[in-house]
Structure 1
Amino acid sequence: MTTAPTTLSVVIITYARPDYVRTCLEHLRELERPASEVLVVDASPDVRTRELVTRDFPEALYLRNDLGPGTMPESRQIGLAHARGDIVAFIDDDAFVEPRWADELLAPYADPTVWGVGGRAVNGLPGEESAGLGQIGRLLPNGMLTGYFGADPGRDLDVDHLLGATMSFRRDTLTSIGGIRGNYPGTCLCEESDISLRVRAAGGRLVFAPRAVVHHVAAPYDVGQRFDRRYLYYARRNHVVLLARNFGFGAPLLRRYVRTTLRVQRQHIDVAVRRLRGDEGRSPMDRARALVVLTRAVVELVGLVVGFPAAVVARRRDRIAGVGTP
């Protein structure tokens, strides 16, 4: 055991949500243990966030990501490249820290085997503190990932992956694995899991610290809505990329993920077709719901298929960048 790291860099990634950035920075000012530095990485198409940070929060370093929307991992990498703390923490612009967040996030790092620590994201949902207590942050045998990062098990837990809205890593660890990889576009799903799986593959432990709390208010997207068709498409596309990058195309995890996805979507399609034919449910509302289910299933299947050529491209880029693939 060693003493916990003493310096903390906090990286906020944002796109076109200056009002949320303001609240996020105001909460960071109230930390009982102040961050050593705060970095705001902005991919917005306008100057509102830049003007806000430079005018009202001079203690924060403003950085640009000129790649635009759908490039959250690239924003994280820009923040990492400029960070100087022993620990680099990443929070979303709509994740507002509680006063003891930094203390609780840093405490597990007293154990040198711990290379990453994530906090609890409270979403204001009924029962979230007890939902999925035994399944927090898991990579399942079928290749699926669990969440449940709003749960409170009452103690620190080892996990397989962390939530991007509130996660941290040893800066030296991230540097040693080649930094943060991009090519998780759209709603940027799975990009934080990619970091987590690579850290674990390098030999480090990841810890979920439920007393390190942020209030995740789920701000609206600039493009589309949360859990819309676009979200479903990228959920499947990026998941295939994640598994292929970290385990290879021949990995049992990837094969089981594909089989599970095909089985579930086939069930949805079968039910939807029966309802559209009038075999099950004859009201116009039943048929309208069936059409919604059918289009959702088709979108998810398209995302699954597109994930494979996207994974080929991602692995090729990884080899060129020298970060390696299995």
Structure 2
Amino acid sequence: MICVYTEDRWEDILAAVSSVRAQSRPALETLLVVDHNEPLRDRLTRQYKDAGDVRVLANAGPRGLSAGRNTGIAASRGEVVAFLDDDAVAERDWLKHFAEGYADPRVMAVGGRTVPIWASGRRPAWFPEEFDWVVGCTYRGLPPGRVRVRNVLGGNASFRRSAFDAAGGFATGIGRDGDKRPLGCEETELCIRLSRVRPDAVLLIDDRAVIHHRVPEARERFGYFRTRTYAEGLSKALVARSVGVGKGLESERRYTTRVLPAGVARGLRDALLARPGGAGRAGAIVAGVVAAAGGYLVGSVRARRGGAAFSVAPLGTGRPGRTHGAAPGSAHG
């Protein structure tokens, strides 16, 4: 499934679809879910009118990525549903490596490794690898290989259909909504919810399942970095409100107490050795932590005053011939 929302990414969308259609393990189908953009939906329908393996759908729920994913899940026919960002391309064995993880019946989700493609041609010297999640990519601190994790990362992930049958769909009101504030964490909330209803569930990341994600120049700037880290704090507050602080911040504790201090130390060491960007990376890590903490505090206050700000869409069986949208009236951020 590829969720799309703007014609500005037309060439990226075509490249993403082509990478799926070229997989060594073919997909049963490729779903393009269009988020409330009729001209884009019409254009994609014309583009793939003769492609029997590509279906173009309109988001049947409120505007945003979560409702779009829920629309696609309900309309899909496969036993495993994989998600690819609309500005990314998958390596040829991406689906093959996902499929291998499901040989174990306990596995409910498998994610992969996302590598940035910087629009400027190279990583900005100040941009720390520990914060590559800011641009939707795998960050320093995640363990290598095929490992068990609390949650997969949404733009490069897959789930068994039975996971959605057990836990419901993605929560609306928590994730991205087009070009508005870049919230996130909808896949984190879903994975924690899934683990609660299925305590035996195993969630994996396999770093052989690789996609390459384009990072536009606007997201290489410090202003976006600051905005995105603040928004992550807001999102984490919503998740903690829903699933509890213990589970909601379980992985983040290790990240902030071990991974980030080590990153600051590396940056300062590089600065002392006169290596480019060392001081900038150390400063960016500190700024990112402060921004995220600020967002979390603001989000926590808002959540206490207004209660949970999102809802979970109940999904049907998704059998061919039936289409189920997000729950009517769902709040969306």
TM-score by length of 1: 0.66
Q: For residues 70-112 of structure 1, what are the alpha-carbon distances to aligned partners after superposition, in whole Å with 9 as ceiling and x for unaligned?
A: x211111111111111101111101211111111111010001
Structure 1 residue 216 and structure 2 residue 210: aligned? no
Pair member with larger Rg: 1
Structure 1 residue 205 and structure 2 residue 196: aligned? no
> Which residue identity does 2:156 align to in structure 1?
T
Instruction: Evaluate the alpha carbon distance shift between residue 219 and residue 313 of structure 1 in structure 2; reply closer, same or farther with a 3 A threshold.
Output: farther
Higher relative contact order (CA 8 A, sep 6+): 2
Q: Offset of 1:314 from its aligned partner?
A: 2.5
Aligned to 1:23: 15
Aligned to 2:148: 158
What is the correspondence of 1:174-323 to structure 2 with a 5 Å cutoff? 174-185=164-175, 186-201=181-196, 202-203=198-199, 204-219=201-216, 227-247=224-244, 251=246, 301=294, 304-310=297-303, 312-314=306-308, 317=311
> Which residue identity does 2:169 align to in structure 1?
G
Contact 2:146 2:205 in 1 (8 A): yes
Secondary structure of the corresponding residue to residue 123 of structure 1: strand
Counterpart-to-counterpart distance in 1, 2:80 and 2:247: 34
| Bigger mean CA offset, 171-180 vs 225-234 | 225-234
Counterpart-to-counterpart distance in 2, 1:310 and 1:183: 12
Counterpart-to-counterpart distance in 1, 2:206 and 2:247: 30
Q: Offset of 1:200 from its aligned partner?
A: 2.4
Gap regions ≥5 residues in structure 1:
1-10, 138-145, 262-289, 322-326
| Bigger mean CA offset, 46-55 vs 210-219 | 46-55
Instruction: Evaluate the alpha carbon distance shift between residue 72 and residue 304 of structure 1 in structure 2; reply closer, same or farther with a 3 A threshold.
Output: farther
Say what the alpha-carbon RMSD is for the aligned residues. 4.1
Gap regions ≥5 residues in structure 2:
124-128, 176-180, 257-282, 315-326, 328-333
Counterpart-to-counterpart distance in 2, 1:256 and 1:163: 13
Contact 2:83 2:156 in 1 (8 A): yes
Q: Work out the percentage of aligned pairs sharing the same amino acid.
A: 27
TM-score by length of 2: 0.65
Contact 1:156 1:207 in 2 (8 A): yes
Aligned to 1:4: none
Picking from 25, 29, 32, the partner of 1:40 is 32
